[in-house]
Amino acid sequence: MTDASIRAEAEQLKEQANAAFQACKFSHARELYTRAIELDGSNPVYWANRAFTNVKLEEYGTAIMDATKAIELDRKYVKGYYRRGAAYLALGKFKEGLKDLRQVCKIVPKDPDAMRKIRECENAIKKLRFEEAVASDERRSVAGTIDYSAFVVEDSYTGARIQGQHLDLAFVKQMMQDFKDEKRLHKRYAYQIMREALDLLSSLPSLVEVTIPDKCHITVCGDIHGQYYDLLNIFEMNGLPSNENPYLFNGDFVDRGSFSVEVILTLFAFKCLYPQGIYLARGNHESQSMNKIYGFDGEVKAKYFSDVMPEYFSEIFCALPLAHVLNSKVFVVHGGLFSTDNVKLSDIRAIDRFKQPPDEGLMCEMLWSDPHPGLGRQPSKRGVGLSFGSDVTEKFLEQNNLDLVVRSHEVKPEGYEQEHKGKLITVFSAPNYCDQIGNKGAFVRFVAPHMKPEFTTFKDVPHPSVKPMAYAPQAYASSFGF
């Protein structure tokens, strides 16, 4: 083939990739961009386009590398800086993102989108610096400043009411129906649910051991990401949480989807109602930095007109356990495993989880890591945590006398995937993620004593016409294509 024919074929692949991207077939688009790069790796457009595809796939570390390559090929290529800036923003790395966006404005002066994103970054950095300046070694409890009983419930309020001192099933059912009808729960009852949930979760260890009696079961769900109507569908298919029908929700309850308030209050309410009927684990999106970027912070403020309530939720998120062990056989964690061998369950129990997730260490890796199909450890495609192979999984299980790892954190076309010779399962419970991906959702049921996984998959259900990330800062939402 001549150089001209090779470039023509690469261009054709790029056009096919663009079409796949527009159809939200991001994995296929990435494959096509990769083939174009293999034919002509000197074209910065192919690298920048693949970078944006990796942003859509939430593989921000890989996106940064691709965008950096585009910049190396053309120092004045605006989209290279723009894509890398978007990836840095997605990771909450505001300073790095700000630097790239300022470079965009140097190349294309007064670009309105870049200027708007610069303002967002500058405001975020100022706020972080302020928070650091006023921080002290002692943890300030927002919950301790809120007395929910002092809030007056107006006569005009027609929604669900808690009768007496504690929640009951009738209240929770009415609240769920109100949410389905797009009604708000009164802040008095929202704060009561939050207070009771905080007390319950704070009393738990960082690693919770769950016992399922013989012939009984537990259902494990992955990411929900604010898709409340799909959560209702799970309950419709599999029954409401109860002591006889327990659930484990494995993190990432909020962000992205625009019904995160409804999701988290429902899950917390069931936790209050049935402490042994529902278990909740922390995901990487149960953190302040993610909530400010991906919409939950803005959603809470929009629905409850409060700057304090997002801080209250953040305090509760810091109380969420990091992992669960089911019948001493199944290890359930949101992200994955570790950068070092010989991590024991006792090490996980000893983690001080009552803080924002750090950028490294065991807690970070549990929330952010992903498996890869090979052996050993590799840098994370997300830019946080690591990627671990089947030998890492096998060694962890062997050292801790376990049979299986169940994790979430990644979209899967069928809602779940079995990897690492069947020793690792990914389960993801947000179908048609962000109204774009077209994936199924899934949940996994384990029946004692054999504790073998039984999978149920499902499609998305209709929801009100509120787009994903509707409450996120516009600069971030547009960076991710919303």
Spans of all domains in the chain: 3-133, 144-479
Local structure of 426: helix, strand or coil: strand
Q: What's the CA gap between 429 and 418, in Å, rounded?
A: 15
From the list 285, 324, 334, 372, the catalytic residue is: 285
Cβ-in-10-Å burial (0-12, 13-18, 19+) of 242 comes to middle
- Is the CATH number 1.10.10.10 carried by domain 3-133? no
Q: Which two tokens stand for residue 134?
A: 């006023």
Q: Which two tokens stand for residue 8?
A: 């023509």
Q: Measure the CA dihedral 458/461/467/473, to 10°.
A: -50
Cβ-in-10-Å burial (0-12, 13-18, 19+) of 332 comes to buried
Q: What's the CA gap between 171 and 186, in Å, rounded?
A: 12
Q: What's the CA gap between 429 and 220, in Å, rounded?
A: 9
Q: Is 285 part of the annotated catalytic residue set? A: yes
Q: What is the pLDDT of residue 109?
A: 86
Q: What's the CA gap between 51 and 86, in Å, rounded?
A: 10
What are the C-alpha distances in Å from 307 to residues 258, 262, 292, 304, 314? 18, 18, 12, 9, 12
In CATH, the architecture of 144-479 is 4-Layer Sandwich (3.60)
What lies within 8 Å, CB to CB, of 319 at 6+ separation is 198, 201, 202, 204, 353, 354
Helices (H), 252-408: 260-273, 288-294, 296-304, 308-319, 345-349, 362-368, 390-399
Instruction: Give this prediction's pTM.
Output: 0.93
Q: What is the pLDDT of residue 439?
A: 97
Q: Which residues of the chain have pLDDT under 50?
A: 136-138
Q: What is the pLDDT of residue 124?
A: 72
What are the C-alpha distances in Å from 295 to residues 250, 262, 284, 438? 20, 13, 14, 21
